């Protein structure tokens, strides 16, 4: 199985990026026209988050989102083998990157949070070109995918550590050295490591890890978002600093600030968010389950 996964990675990496994206879009389109769970969840999430929009808009964004998610799947191996110079050549426009450089100069490390919006793989790889990067990740469900994934990302300069006690220790050490730490801010936390905070007007189980890491050393937190441009032309990279609210001792307030910032980014291009993710699966007691 591991050999087949590596072979698939190699084949996808050798395609021209426009062809790679076209293949990913085709996979996403198939997920839309077939009665898939991905389609069903996407429509439910869009109705929850954009009740003011009509059904036609929900269907349009759901279809585009699945096609963009397909691109995210096929482009990842391509990006892992692209190399730093090629990654940099794909940045067609940058906004706010100076916030990262300024934060690094403070010497407290930087938390770089990339939501499931646009190409979070590209956002992380580009960040690795800005400084030493340690990335927190959740091991994939398919065990055979774990080692090829870690090796591919490590080849680009990013150091992956799992979301475990040992992984968190390594993150603290990286921050103490004044380095970058990457993580996903919109993953549903496992266990009790989360609080319910509003996200598109709904109480959503949100990680408190960002707050705990940031508060320990007053670490700057920046949202990084790489918008995928059409026809494989490249990416538009945006960095937005989060407020000092995340340095406080109120995890509810910090989680609310993170969700508000992610929501603001999503509204810029909702078609590139992964709406097929069960973001509202965990609910407060007595609240109906949407799925």
Domain boundaries, the chain: 2-272
State mean pLDDT over 248-261. 93
Its sign, for the CA torsion 163, 169, 170, 172, is: positive
Burial grade of 6 (CB within 10 A; 0-12, 13-18, 19 or more): middle
How high is the pLDDT of residue 155? 65
Query: Which tens digit of pLDDT belongs to each residue from 141-175?
Result: 777 677 767 776 676 677 888 888 898 999 999 99
The whole model's pTM is what?
Answer: 0.92
Contacts of 133 (CB under 8 A, 6+ apart): 112, 124, 127, 157, 158, 159, 179, 180, 181, 182
How high is the pLDDT of residue 19? 97
How high is the pLDDT of residue 81? 87
Beta-strand pair 235-241/110-113: unpaired
State mean pLDDT over 268-284. 96
What angle do the packed helices 55-80 and 120-128 form, to 10 degrees?
40
Beta bridge partners of 194: 207
Contacts of 59 (CB under 8 A, 6+ apart): 43
How high is the pLDDT of residue 275? 98
How high is the pLDDT of residue 216? 81
Burial grade of 4 (CB within 10 A; 0-12, 13-18, 19 or more): exposed
Residue 3 has pLDDT above 80, yes or no: no
Residue 39 has pLDDT above 80, yes or no: yes
- Categorize the per-residue pLDDT at 212 as very low, low, confident or very high, splitting at 50, 70 and 90: very high
Average the pLDDT over each of 100-114, 138-152, 157-171, 177-191 and give the range with the smallest value: 138-152
How high is the pLDDT of residue 156? 66
Spatial separation of the C-alpha atoms in residues 258 and 273, rounded to whole Å: 16
Contacts of 43 (CB under 8 A, 6+ apart): 58, 59, 62
- Categorize the per-residue pLDDT at 84 as very low, low, confident or very high, splitting at 50, 70 and 90: confident
Contact 273, 117 (CB under 8 A): yes
State mean pLDDT over 40-62. 98
């Amino acid at each position: 199985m591991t050999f087949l996964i590596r072979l698939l990675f190699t084949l996808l990496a050798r395609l021209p990026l426009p062809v790679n994206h076209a293949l990913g879009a085709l996979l996403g389109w198939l997920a839309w026209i077939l009665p898939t769970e991905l389609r069903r969840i996407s429509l439910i999430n869009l109705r929850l988050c954009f009740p003011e929009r009509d059904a036609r808009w929900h269907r349009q964004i759901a279809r585009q989102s699945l096609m963009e998610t397909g691109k995210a799947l096929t482009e990842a191996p391509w990006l892992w083998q692209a190399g730093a110079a090629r990654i940099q050549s794909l940045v067609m426009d940058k906004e706010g990157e100076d916030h990262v450089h300024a934060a690094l100069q403070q010497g407290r490390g930087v938390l770089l949070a990339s939501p499931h919006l646009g190409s979070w793989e590209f956002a992380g790889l580009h960040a690795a070109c800005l400084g030493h990067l340690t990335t927190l990740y959740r091991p994939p469900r398919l065990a055979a995918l774990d080692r090829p994934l870690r090796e591919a990302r490590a080849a680009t300069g990013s150091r992956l550590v799992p979301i475990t006690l040992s992984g968190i220790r390594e993150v603290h050490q990286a921050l103490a050295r004044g380095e970058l730490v990457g993580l996903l801010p919109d993953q549903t936390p496992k266990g009790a490591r989360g609080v319910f905070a509003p996200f598109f007007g709904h109480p959503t189980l949100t990680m408190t890890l960002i707050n705990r890491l940031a508060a320990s050393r007053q670490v700057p937190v920046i949202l990084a978002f790489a918008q995928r441009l059409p026809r494989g032309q490249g990416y538009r990279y945006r960095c937005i600093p989060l407020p000092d609210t995340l340095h406080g001792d109120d995890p509810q307030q910090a989680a609310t600030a993170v969700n508000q910032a992610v929501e603001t980014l999503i509204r810029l291009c909702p078609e590139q968010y992964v709406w097929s993710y069960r973001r509202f699966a965990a609910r407060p007691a007595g609240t109906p389950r949407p799925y």
